[in-house]
Amino acid sequence: MSEKSDALEGAVMALIEARTALDTAPGARTRAAADRAFVRLAALLAPRVRYFTRAYGLSDVAEDAGQVCAIAIHRAAEHYDPDRARFTTYVNWQLRAELQALRLRLHGDQRCAGRRQVRATPSLDAMVEAGADAWLADPAALDAAERRAADRLAGQVADRLAADWAARRGARGDAQRLAAEQDLVRHQLIVIDAAERLRESDRHIVRRALADIIRHTGGKPH
């Protein structure tokens, strides 16, 4: 997945969490947190909004386009289900639907000019209720989300273990060398690669570090 897609995924999950907190404990602080989360998500989507606005020929009404896109982003975050699709796919569909509807309201269907006016498209909610979003289902989404969550958790654990080890031996070496050794140990905790070959000095550092980590965490080597 691209960095932009991952950033959007993180931003929408942060917004969902903030909205949940607001629903659970309404107040100025939780509302401000939800507003900040939405602003962050909207900022990440701003280039996409500008692109779609131009693509649908709505640059002359950019303010109106921005308003309907804000509605689309709110709706996308409210109905988003990570088990069905990535947010980048889901929000694209909603942005396109709102801009298409705005173009029809303002200009009609240019392809049919001089013949007949096309009826307004049904609302996005109606399309969803009718099952029009079934094509968004992604059977691999749940497994992918679980893998990302497991990788993030493993990374956080490795960071903490390596940092604690470095703190225990910090007084016995210079800071620059210790930081390099901490990175080495962290890498070995998180990356298992049988083909990777370490220098003897690095292997010695890693062996001592792992033994120390196991001793202090009460774990057993496997």
Q: Quick check: is 170 in a domain?
A: yes
Q: What is the pLDDT of residues 1-28, one digit of tens each?
A: 578 888 889 998 999 999 999 888 888 9
Q: How far apart are CA 89 and CA 84, in angstroms?
A: 10
Give tens-digit pLDDT for 110-123. Answer: 544 444 444 444 45
**Residue 78 half-sphere exposure toward CB, CA atoms < 13 A:** 9
Mean pLDDT, range 140-150, rounded to an integer: 67
First-to-last CA distance in the chain? Answer: 32
Per the structure, the count of domains in the chain is: 2
Query: Looking at residue 210, what is its pLDDT?
Result: 85
Residues 123 and 184 in one domain: no
222 in any annotated domain: no
Section 135-161 average pLDDT: 70
Q: What is the pTM of this model?
A: 0.49
- What's the domain range around 177? 143-217
Q: Are 49 and 72 in contact (CB under 8 A)?
A: no
Rounded to an integer, the average pLDDT of 153-178 is: 78
Angle at the Cα of 61 from the Cα atoms of 93 and 5, rounded to 5 degrees: 30
| 131 assigned to some structural domain | yes
Q: Are residues 106 and 152 part of one domain?
A: no
**21 vs 215: CA distance, rounded Å:** 39
Nearest to 145 by CA among 196, 86, 73: 86
Question: Is 206:188 a contact under the CB 8 Å cutoff?
Answer: yes
Q: What is the spatial distance between Cα 18 and Cα 12, in angstroms, rounded to a whole number?
A: 10
Give the residue from 144, 58, 165 showing the smallest Cα distance to 107. 58
User: Quick one: 57 and 71 in the same domain?
Assistant: yes
Pick from 80-89, 100-109, 120-129, 188-197: least confident: 120-129
Same domain, 175 and 80: no
Q: What is the DSSP letter of 70?
A: H
pLDDT in tens, 54-70: 988 898 999 999 999 99
Judge contact between 76 and 86, C-beta under 8 A: no
Q: Domain end: 115, 138, 161, which one? A: 138
| Residue 156 and residue 126 share a domain | no
Q: Are residues 128 and 150 in the same domain?
A: no
Among 97, 116, 138, which residue terminates a domain?
Answer: 138
**% of the chain with per-residue pLDDT over 70:** 76
Q: Are residues 107 and 162 in the same domain?
A: no
Q: State which of 123, 138, 153 marks the end of a domain.
A: 138
Range of lowest pLDDT (33-42, 68-77, 156-165): 156-165
Query: For residues 124 and 97, is the Cβ–Cβ distance under 8 A?
Result: yes
Alpha-carbon dihedral sign for residues 26, 30, 31, 35: negative
pLDDT at 145: 66
Produce one character per residue of 32-67: b if its CB has 16 or more CB atoms within 10 Å, e if not: ebbeebbebbbebbeebbeebbeebebeebeeebbe
Contact 95, 69 (CB under 8 A): yes
Look at residue 66 and tell me if it is in a domain. yes
